[in-house]
Amino acid sequence: MIWLGFAILSLIILSPVIWAQRGTVMLGRRESALALYRAQLKDVAEDGARGRFQPREQAEAKLEIERRLLAAGGLAEETITGRSGFSCRLAMLVLVIPILALALYLPQGAPLLPAAPLAPRIQAAQAQMMQDRAMLGMLQAKIATLDPKSDQARQGFVLLGNLEANLGDASAAADAWGRALAIRYDAKLAKLQAMAEAVAKQSTQSGAASP
């Protein structure tokens, strides 16, 4: 099905070129030479009538052009129609363009995956946010019942920071992770807390700069 779509798209793109090239005729070597020399004879006659050539110069030029005209008449006939040549090129383009497009698409694309409309994804994100907020309240209530210096409280503060980060509150996440670090230090958690503080500071500065 995807091949058909690519082929139709290629034809649509190439349709102006096809229309512009309809009925075009390409002259071969013999016909081109004859047309050129006949035009030159006409130019020499017109220039001679205007006095741009001396009679002798005009006669010599005419003789030379007629000699070339006779020589061109002996060339083999090579007249071809442009339509057949263009049709071949068009057929190649119609075949090659979808193949190239498919070759570029397949390494990164996933044509077999089902469609993912935006509305259901927004609804799922909103539902997840509501669930996280509910868990946030429950976790805060649970931490309040624990010894503030215990490992259980530390783990609760780590989870609280994760939830706050998921909800987009970098300042609250940094505060929760800071409390966990005060109970017991962890290098990885310290990096997360520093990043959250930087994000919160940047957000504060951006808000202060806004009118």
Kindly report, residue by residue over 10-40, the tens digit of the pLDDT. 666 666 655 555 554 445 566 777 778 788 8
Q: How far apart are the first and last CA of the chain?
A: 53
Asked whether the beta carbons of 28 and 79 are under 8 A apart, the reply is yes
3-state secondary structure 20-67: HCCCCEECCHHHHHHHHHHHHHHHHHHHHHCCCCCHHHHHHHHHHHHH
- Tell me, rounded to whole angstroms, the distance of Cα 192 from its chain centroid: 36
What's the token pair of residue 146?
Answer: 């624990």
Question: Could you tell me the pLDDT band of residue 113, with boundaries at 50, 70 and 90?
Answer: low
> Is this prediction's pTM over 0.75?
no
Question: Could you tell me the pLDDT band of residue 88, with boundaries at 50, 70 and 90?
Answer: low
Among 90, 111, 91, 86, smallest CA distance to 5 is for 111
Mean of the pLDDT values across residues 87-110?
A: 66
Structural domain spans, the chain: 24-105, 119-201
- Indicate if the pLDDT at residue 145 is higher than 90: yes
Question: Could you tell me the pLDDT band of residue 105, with boundaries at 50, 70 and 90?
Answer: low
Among 136, 205, 207, smallest CA distance to 166 is for 136
Partners of 21 in beta bridges: none
Per-residue pLDDT, 58: 79
Q: How far apart are CA 50 and CA 53, in angstroms?
A: 8
* 141-147 contact pairs (CB < 8 A, 24+): none
The answer regarding whether domain 119-201 maps to CATH 1.25.40 reads yes
